[in-house]
Structures are given as structure tokens and as C-alpha cells.
Structure 1
């Protein structure tokens, strides 16, 4: 992470811990603060300039996150990074797991 992202992460860490604890209450005990942060950076904000986001925007997006959204992301990432499809080339794998483009 770059310095600005590190600062934002540190600033919103209490909210990340709160969300992690919420997920743990629902039985999702493998969820971590870092995992939640990675979801936000790589999925939710992949097309945003994160360095200009305000802490309240980050916390708002975090608190809107449902366990289903997060678990879908983690499962997709696990499949994307696994060798579950050895017959596919890297290009085919990228197409298979890339987000759909809206028309």
C-alpha cells in the first residue's frame, strides 16, 4: 500500500475491527481487518481515487458491506488465484474472472 492508503487504513482501523467483529458474530471467523480493507480497495473502489476519499466515505462503504458480498469476493479471488482451471490460459482466466462491463 502507498503511504496515503496506509494512513487511511490506520485511521479507519477501529471501524474495520468493528465490522470484523460483526462478521465473527455471524460465524464468519476467518474475516480479518486486512481482508475487509482489500475488498474495499480491490473491489468496491477499484475505479475510484482512494487517496481523495474522506474517512466517513470509507466507513460508510464498510458498514454497508454484507457478509454475502464479502464471501463472494473472497471465493472469487480464491478461484482466480488457484490452479482449479489448468486448461485455461492466463488470458482466458482473466476474461473469466474480470468484472462485467456495463453497456
Structure 2
């Protein structure tokens, strides 16, 4: 979990929505995405700008509206940002292809 984000207070309450979205991803063949990775995506990409008056149903709606290609684009860019990432390294290639 991304420590210190304003919406972290909702984390335990929206876990069912996270799990539901992960189940959807698994049905589409993306079985290795974790709850933590999905939350990290939401915090870093979707919720860069926070709102003090946000309601829990809005958080749930945003989680459930994530498209797998949006997440995968984010994950690809994050993988390239890693300083020690090299396509010549077999472990890095496997991590990239998750």
C-alpha cells in the first residue's frame, strides 16, 4: 500500500472492490496482478489529485471502472522507470511480462 495517501483511510473498506476487479483481471488472463499493485496504480495514477469530500462509493466506482489496458500501460511505464531493468536479464523479462 502507498503509505501516506489521503485515501488510505478507505483501503480496508474497499478491499472487496479491489478483489472484484482482480477477479475480473484474472478472467481476462491477468492472474499475477496483486491487490497492492492495483492500489498503487489507483494512488499513483487515478488519485494524484485528492478530494477532501470524496465518498466511499466514488472510490469503489473508480476502482471498478479500471480497464486492464489502463493498468497494463501504467505497469509497463513503471517497469521501464526501474533503474536496474534490463531486457537481457531473464528475471527482469519475466517481471515485465507479468
Contact preservation (8 Å) 2:10, 2:56: yes
- Most deviating of 29-38 and 76-85: 76-85
Q: TM-score, normalised by structure 1?
A: 0.71
Q: Deviations over 1:36-75 (max 9, x none)?
A: 11111000111224x6421111111111110000000011
Query: Could you list the runs of 5+ residues in structure 2 that have no partner in the other structure?
Result: 87-98
- CA-CA distance at 1:84 after TM superposition: 4.9
Note the 1:52-71 alignment, pairs <5 A: 52-71=53-72
Bigger RCO (CA 8 Å, 6+ sep): 2
How many pairs does the alignment contain? 84
SS in 2 for 1:11: coil
1:5, 1:12 → 2: CA distance?
10
Choose between structure 1 and 2: higher helix proportion: 1
RMSD across aligned C-alpha pairs, in angstroms? 2.0
**1:7/1:79 CA distance change after superposition, 3 Å:** same
The higher radius of gyration belongs to: 1
Q: Deviations over 1:4-51 (max 9, x none)?
A: 6443110100100010011001000111111111111000111224x6
Q: TM-score, normalised by structure 2?
A: 0.74
